[in-house]
Structure 1
């Protein structure tokens, strides 16, 4: 549709044009009724939308003229007014032929709906909702004049009120007012305009050149261009800062603002009004603030700690150090980055809670340790101080960040070193304790085990006491094993490492377990034959396997399960070896012990190899088993790993380095004889009478002639008196008056070919070289076991060293 818009205000015409064109209509605009009639004479229109109060010819006059003209009366006529808004105005509009009456300030959607309704009524032949009232011309003009006079009076009142408010506002704001008639060149300067520059009111001519002449030479071009641009482009506001010369010759900073308030019939600006505001003090404050900010910025930029600001969950500022801490090439790389990508996921919830408390008014955050994530994904430890600030007019959080990753690593290494030192000190204490008690304790065990053996051998097999004595014997064996564990763990027990095949030892241990573990535990084994030779102590390997399998059985003692033992040869490449503790690439035997028991809790798993750490009841364990296993495996040059899932089971993997050259396997020991088969005479020396008596009785039980002495000097005198009487001497090491090795040396002087067997509960200083120098042919560790003693005696009497 072709729509004619009539309004004296340019902005009103512009808004209506935009709105109607958006609906697909064509528009033509006029500044008053007279111009509208010229437009109507030049071409057809489908709708007229007009304001009422306009110069030259107002809307009411235009409506009367159109409705009286036969060529124009058919065009729908709509009033759109902000001045004539009461019901009497609306009634008068319909009386003179209007088809619609709309009040300015409507929502665009409501305005368009009303216009659309008028258009539909037109298409259906229903023009005005109220037919025009046929009144005499004099009465119509009378009503028109009354309405016009009333509106003009109200306008005058409004103008007087606005002028009063304007004067009060200018006085309160201390702004200078200027009013420039562009066509005549006349300018009005208010009194304040003069006095803010040190002049008396009206002291200078009120012209454009007065204003331009007071401008600073460096600011004049930009200021004049700004106001001329506003005149030529009506919707571009004039606002410019410039310096003006005061009466004293100094310069003041002025903020000039202005706006075109009226235009001529061709739409050209006629009048522009504005203000001058003295901003000299503000500019000084801004300059000082800028200098202060620059100083602080320089301090922040050279600061060795990271300083950053985040607002709305994103980084809005960072210094160079902050970028370096997070691995960014420049601070700009951090701008806009979400903080949830910087704070470590494990710490994010706690950090968000702290930020919320700060934004709610809680005081600044004191130093707190946190974890961040660098741009490359590397987690780092940081020390953070944060406080709520205002950044660029918005709430924000400033953080001061220090990278403490190296410090934490150093502290951790120091803590680990201290832990290792305490562990070494603990081991030394354990070693001292073990060495101190081993001799006496093994002597006690010798009596318990030895006399139990003698009693078992002497009693009938069906004697009810047999079972009791067997429990005594087993208890002694357990105590002996415990002492050996303590000595092995404290490195006080020398290990005899020889080339061995582990397979037979594993099979022997599994066979023993099958006869001792409850039937609810199913034992599965897969032992590779000839998997390779390793350098190890067979007894210690047996001990390792028994400890692990016993622990596995305890884990399944309630519900039962499956115990799996496997042995296989593997080759560790550099990548695989790097994932295992302290292992180098090469060939290994891998021994695996797995169970389907209750598993180990994640928080417990890192401590299972600590000495004396145990989760078992006091009657079930000492806490030395796995610590001993770990020590034995390390002494073999191997490694051990463990994995466990609570409720599903635990798996241990043991790695033994395979020897490079094949070695013939060590033949199994022959079964010990219960009798010697000859009538050798043996002297048994021990300072404790129960042990001396036990030794004599064990030897006699084995078929030997035997005598016992509790004093080493008495034993030496006995040999001196008859050097050829005894075929063998068995002596304790630690005795009052003379030690066993000294006794052996003296006996060698008397009779060089007299064999001596050393028997002791424990010795830290007795080495193989010292024993050979003293003429000692064999060494038996207490507590004395009958079969072991018989085998050693047979070997020594046969001429072999044991």
Structure 2
């Protein structure tokens, strides 16, 4: 390359030189070999004979370019050669044989492509823009370059649609359109609606018709389907122009790729919706817990009086059967309330030996009334399966959640919900597929449906929090993530299997334990053998009256108060007279824990039993013994359970006094 500083002073072109420059020259570039072919006219534009430039190479072509234009020109040609654009339109300055600079316009397009869509050959033309001296200070050239730079820096694609419907792009197309534009080398203009999403084509067509009928400006958004079947969102701002006689001339517009913006808005809406659903779920849980509390308060006298009535008569009494039915109905209601508390997460549980087959029966009793007649239930339950160590309420939640998902999958088409339970001894093949499971026997709980199934992408994310394929009304996206957490917490694993059109199957593996839960045996209330005075506090009149009768029946002296404030005042008068305090948790004026704390300050040795219909103490962070509470009883409480608990607390307190 020659040193540009040694060039002679530029001068004006002669008439002969200008005549030669008026001719359009042609060139062709073999991209693979690098060979550059030019004709006599192309050489004459710069004042040369063809043989003077032979052989012409890309390096020599670059040497002819003005230093200020060289980088831009080379970059444009490289983009064309790489297939990133299909057209070349380049205004630049080249050195004439006389040493001056002339303004030329090079145009080019791709002629052939290889099997990979890469350009093989590029052809084009060159013509002189003007015959005046072309130095770096020419305002017209400078303005053109600045305008081109400005256009290329706009984050959109400027276009024009003429009266024939042909579209011309004045700036680089969006990235997802470059491949399509490059392959349409003969006509780089997108003249059809084929790329527009079928659901949006009518809107785009109607907008075009309006623009061609009257001068106006519009902004629309629509979807484009790329060659890779990806969806991209386009924002299209355009204005129609008309001639003085009212004839349509063109539509000038600019396209913006707003896919990322639309995705961000949709993600924000999705997150806001999930937060609202989570808050709604929390509100429903709180409401369910409150309703369960009220139901337990109602059940307390029903169950208590029925139990006392049943215990006061012989089995051959005609009323015995009636009281038995009342007891059974009250106990069923008690279990239902317990399930409501489980859903509201208002009932704490502790791991224990859980026979899953029993939990399955309880869960199906709850679910069966809500299933339509088009869905049948099949059970394959091995009743000899050993127990697992888990929280019974959480296992109940696992079964209900998985069955509910199966129900939703078959809600419209109907089908079969299958529940299986089997104890399995892991072999080598199973151990390999369950690497994180303990090396022991385990039970496999299988819940399957015959619904539409899921694709692989859905299965990959099925246990993610807030991921759901259900509608807003039916899915929170939390159910399966909670199930996954419960199963893992119990030392097990859960797997989902599905294929579209063939339903879904969830397999839950839980390690078994040798201990079995002992069957419950009815407890008989034991009459008190020791004298004790008890202070009872509850704001429910029915509960107060029933507790008075039950305590007297057990042989205790009881004083009852309906107000915690009045109970505190009475206790303050003579704390030593009471051997035990039993208080409800939820009361106006003061909660049971607050009352227990105040009583404990007056007499730290007094034992306290806290009763609640809510299922748990409100503040889980503070242990019960902080308030001086010895036991927690859940309403409704049976007479035998009450007698046993009171007797235990009194014996423990007497034992501590003697030590």
TM-score by length of 1: 0.45
Name the structure 1 match of 2:75.
none
Q: Tell whether the 8 Å contact from 1:755 to 1:775 is kept in structure 2 after alignment.
A: yes
Number of corresponding residues = 479
Question: Judging changes above 3 Å, is the alpha-carbon distance between structure 1 residues 302 and 473 closer, same or farther for their aligned structure 2 residues?
Answer: same
Name the structure 1 match of 2:546.
694
Name the structure 1 match of 2:634.
781
Name the structure 2 match of 1:404.
258
| Mapped pair 1:636 → 2:486 | yes
Q: Tell whether the 8 Å contact from 2:496 to 2:504 is kept in structure 1 after alignment.
A: yes
Q: Tell whether the 8 Å contact from 1:517 to 1:553 is kept in structure 2 after alignment.
A: no
Name the structure 2 match of 1:367.
219
- Separation of aligned partners in 2, 1:223 and 1:707: 120
- Separation of aligned partners in 2, 1:514 and 1:607: 21
Name the structure 2 match of 1:413.
267
| Mapped pair 1:675 → 2:529 | no
Give the counterpart of 1:606 among 453, 471, 480.
471
Give the counterpart of 1:484 among 336, 341, 357.
341
Name the structure 1 match of 2:154.
303
SS of the residue 2:213 aligns to = coil
Q: Tell whether the 8 Å contact from 1:556 to 1:597 is kept in structure 2 after alignment.
A: yes
| Mapped pair 1:730 → 2:578 | no
RMSD: 6.2
Question: Judging changes above 3 Å, is the alpha-carbon distance between structure 1 residues 548 and 219 closer, same or farther for their aligned structure 2 residues?
Answer: closer
- Separation of aligned partners in 2, 1:324 and 1:676: 84
Q: CA deviation at 1:369?
A: 1.6
Q: CA deviation at 1:379?
A: 1.7
Question: Judging changes above 3 Å, is the alpha-carbon distance between structure 1 residues 301 and 436 closer, same or farther for their aligned structure 2 residues?
Answer: same
Query: Which structure: larger Rg?
Result: 1
Any residues of structure 2 matched to 1:242-321 within 5 Å, and which?
Answer: 299-308=150-159, 317-321=168-172
Question: Judging changes above 3 Å, is the alpha-carbon distance between structure 1 residues 440 and 637 closer, same or farther for their aligned structure 2 residues?
Answer: same
Question: Judging changes above 3 Å, is the alpha-carbon distance between structure 1 residues 654 and 324 closer, same or farther for their aligned structure 2 residues?
Answer: same
Name the structure 2 match of 1:537.
391
- Separation of aligned partners in 2, 1:346 and 1:452: 67
The Cα offsets for residues 604-642 of structure 1, whole Å up to 9 and x where unpaired, read as: 93224458xxxxxxxxxxxxxx98x66853763779999
TM-score by length of 2: 0.53
Q: Tell whether the 8 Å contact from 2:526 to 2:644 is kept in structure 1 after alignment.
A: no
- Separation of aligned partners in 2, 1:417 and 1:500: 39
Any residues of structure 2 matched to 1:361-510 within 5 Å, and which?
Answer: 361=213, 366-386=218-238, 399-423=253-277, 426=280, 442-451=296-305, 453-454=307-308, 469=326, 473=330, 476-477=333-334, 480-481=337-338, 484=341, 487-488=344-345, 493-498=346-351, 503-509=356-362
- Separation of aligned partners in 1, 2:567 and 2:629: 16
SS of the residue 1:367 aligns to = strand
Which segments of 5 or more consecutive residues in structure 2 lack a partner in the other structure?
A: 1-13, 24-130, 132-139, 243-247, 425-433, 454-467, 489-493, 654-659
- Separation of aligned partners in 2, 1:399 and 1:532: 73
- Separation of aligned partners in 2, 1:397 and 1:348: 18
The Cα offsets for residues 303-345 of structure 1, whole Å up to 9 and x where unpaired, read as: 2212345799998543554232536498677826675553234
Q: Is the deviation greater in 763-772 or in 327-336?
A: 327-336
Q: Tell whether the 8 Å contact from 1:672 to 1:790 is kept in structure 2 after alignment.
A: no
Q: Tell whether the 8 Å contact from 2:449 to 2:504 is kept in structure 1 after alignment.
A: no
Q: CA deviation at 1:454?
A: 4.6
Any residues of structure 2 matched to 1:21-36 within 5 Å, and which?
Answer: none
Which segments of 5 or more consecutive residues in structure 1 lack a partner in the other structure?
A: 1-214, 225-282, 284-288, 571-583, 612-625
| Mapped pair 1:712 → 2:562 | no
Question: Judging changes above 3 Å, is the alpha-carbon distance between structure 1 residues 502 and 656 closer, same or farther for their aligned structure 2 residues?
Answer: farther
| Mapped pair 1:322 → 2:179 | no
- Separation of aligned partners in 2, 1:396 and 1:405: 27
- Separation of aligned partners in 2, 1:451 and 1:338: 86
Name the structure 2 match of 1:267.
none
Question: Judging changes above 3 Å, is the alpha-carbon distance between structure 1 residues 464 and 775 closer, same or farther for their aligned structure 2 residues?
Answer: closer
Name the structure 1 match of 2:608.
756
Q: Tell whether the 8 Å contact from 2:310 to 2:324 is kept in structure 1 after alignment.
A: no
Question: Judging changes above 3 Å, is the alpha-carbon distance between structure 1 residues 461 and 495 closer, same or farther for their aligned structure 2 residues?
Answer: farther
Q: CA deviation at 1:759?
A: 0.6
The Cα offsets for residues 375-403 of structure 1, whole Å up to 9 and x where unpaired, read as: 4443222212346689xxx9986652111
Q: Tell whether the 8 Å contact from 2:289 to 2:341 is kept in structure 1 after alignment.
A: no
Give the counterpart of 1:566 among 406, 414, 420.
420
Q: CA deviation at 1:686?
A: 2.1
Name the structure 2 match of 1:35.
none
Q: Tell whether the 8 Å contact from 1:498 to 1:537 is kept in structure 2 after alignment.
A: yes
Q: CA deviation at 1:538?
A: 0.8
The Cα offsets for residues 70-114 of structure 1, whole Å up to 9 and x where unpaired, read as: xxxxxxxxxxxxxxxxxxxxxxxxxxxxxxxxxxxxxxxxxxxxx
The Cα offsets for residues 220-245 of structure 1, whole Å up to 9 and x where unpaired, read as: 78999xxxxxxxxxxxxxxxxxxxxx
Name the structure 1 match of 2:102.
none
Q: Tell whether the 8 Å contact from 2:451 to 2:504 is kept in structure 1 after alignment.
A: no
Question: Judging changes above 3 Å, is the alpha-carbon distance between structure 1 residues 631 and 593 closer, same or farther for their aligned structure 2 residues?
Answer: same
Question: Judging changes above 3 Å, is the alpha-carbon distance between structure 1 residues 216 and 300 closer, same or farther for their aligned structure 2 residues?
Answer: same
Question: Judging changes above 3 Å, is the alpha-carbon distance between structure 1 residues 513 and 770 closer, same or farther for their aligned structure 2 residues?
Answer: closer
Q: Tell whether the 8 Å contact from 1:590 to 1:653 is kept in structure 2 after alignment.
A: no
- Separation of aligned partners in 2, 1:336 and 1:694: 89
Q: CA deviation at 1:364?
A: 5.5
Q: CA deviation at 1:370?
A: 1.0
Name the structure 2 match of 1:194.
none
Q: Tell whether the 8 Å contact from 2:446 to 2:508 is kept in structure 1 after alignment.
A: no
Question: Judging changes above 3 Å, is the alpha-carbon distance between structure 1 residues 708 and 320 closer, same or farther for their aligned structure 2 residues?
Answer: farther
Q: Tell whether the 8 Å contact from 1:323 to 1:330 is kept in structure 2 after alignment.
A: no
Q: CA deviation at 1:697?
A: 3.5
Question: Judging changes above 3 Å, is the alpha-carbon distance between structure 1 residues 353 and 554 closer, same or farther for their aligned structure 2 residues?
Answer: closer
Question: Judging changes above 3 Å, is the alpha-carbon distance between structure 1 residues 476 and 597 closer, same or farther for their aligned structure 2 residues?
Answer: farther
